Amino acid sequence: MTKTANVEPATLSLAVSSDPVENTTYITDFRDDDPAALRSIYRTMLLTRRFEERTGEMYTKAKIGGYCHLNLGEEATVVGLMAALKPEDYIFTNYREHGYILARGVDPGRIMAELFGKDTGVSRGRGGSMHLFDIETHFMGGYAIVGGQIPLATGVAFALRYQARPGVVVCQMGDGTTNIGAWHESLNMAKLYKLPIIFFIVNNGYGMGLKVENGSAEPELYRKGCAFRMHGERVNGKDPIAVRNAVQRLRLMAQDHGEPAILEAVSYRFRGHSVVDPARYRDEEEVRRGREDDPVLRFAQNLLDAGILTDEMITTMAAEVEQEVAAAIDFANSSPDPQIEELFTYMYASPVANMPGPEDALEAARIARGEF
């Protein structure tokens, strides 16, 4: 089920529904869908679930440092979105991005290696959990200054249009990000310049601990583009097919008609803001309801009911995914650290006079070890 805010602001009603976990219907009629594609969506959801669970575990074992934010509970939102994208499309995300890059088909081993800070990681160990990147698949990075990715994503959409190239940009962002000035500046320019971009809001109900309605005077976030006459929709983010279908539609509107759009997926994160957050600001009943409606289990059930999955298939997939994630952890564990000589290596793309080099890096390392 989707709600839409059409481009004419005058036609909007003022009715506000701010419950982020409101009951929504699910698509259960899969007759028009390719069963293999549906099974693949389920498998990727399962992979995301297991990857994130094991990532949380690796964090508690201190294999992963810094901040670490998981997609647990958001699998339908993540995988539904990614299933709608074409190879020529670009995606920008915030710092809660492990699932998106997995769903883009990047090797889980290289993703886990990045979380471990290894040289084999997707960002060669320079970025970590919040800064995954893969140029080959147009995965344009996880960004951790809230909203920082939005003008950049708008810029890639601008370049696509400038160079008359096919494809769209998806700019993923959180609910709290809709309060940032850069978003409103970008909405204005996206609409003004007719850019092929979808602003994809994952509304999981909370910024860190701040409820959506306590941070946004307009809690129906999909309507916040009205000032720019931008189309907006809300979709059930626990239904991967609803998300995918909405993105597919908006994608064509953006690519073929230069109509950017906002899509708000109402989702729920199972855990705290980051792995170290016990999330005491959410009441128990809400968390129970949120977790009870598990998008991975529900989608499995829907596919079982439709005869697209069997129990055997689920068991086999679970075993494969378990193995795949275990292999990713093994790969990360056995990968080398980045070379200290390369401390300055990626500082500049064009070599420049008077910048530090490998000797300076080694010198810095020697001093850090107390060798002076």
Pick the closer one to other proteins by CB: 26 or 158: 158
| 153: nearest Cα among 257, 265, 262, 266 | 262
Q: How far apart are CA 256 and CA 259, in angstroms?
A: 8
Least distance in angstroms from the C-beta of 66 to other proteins: 13
| 226: nearest Cα among 9, 18, 4 | 9
Pick the closer one to other proteins by CB: 142 or 237: 142
Q: How far apart are CA 42 and CA 68, in angstroms?
A: 24
User: What proportions of the chain, in percent to the nearest 5, are helix, strand and coil?
Assistant: 45, 10, 45
Pick the closer one to other proteins by CB: 192 or 368: 192
Tokens of 3: 């709600």
Q: Tokens 């309507």 correspond to what residue? A: 223
User: Do residues 256 and 193 make contact, with C-beta atoms less than 8 angstroms apart?
Assistant: no
* Binding region for other proteins (CB under 8 A): 90, 121-127, 131, 133-135, 140-141, 143, 145, 148, 150-160, 162-163, 181-182, 185-186, 188-189, 192, 345-350, 352-355
Least distance in angstroms from the C-beta of 108 to other proteins: 18
Least distance in angstroms from the C-beta of 119 to other proteins: 9
- Name the strand (E) or helix (H) holding 140: strand 139-142
The DSSP code for 134 is B
Pick the closer one to other proteins by CB: 90 or 270: 90
Least distance in angstroms from the C-beta of 183 to other proteins: 9
One DSSP character per residue, 319-357 reads HHHHHHHHHHHHHHHHSPPPPGGGTTTTS-SS--TT---
Q: How far apart are CA 234 and CA 200, in angstroms?
A: 10
Least distance in angstroms from the C-beta of 162 to other proteins: 6
Pick the closer one to other proteins by CB: 12 or 192: 192
Least distance in angstroms from the C-beta of 245 to other proteins: 28
Pick the closer one to other proteins by CB: 86 or 288: 86
**Cα angle value 265/57/100 (rounded, 5°):** 30
Least distance in angstroms from the C-beta of 355 to other proteins: 5
Pick the closer one to other proteins by CB: 151 or 258: 151
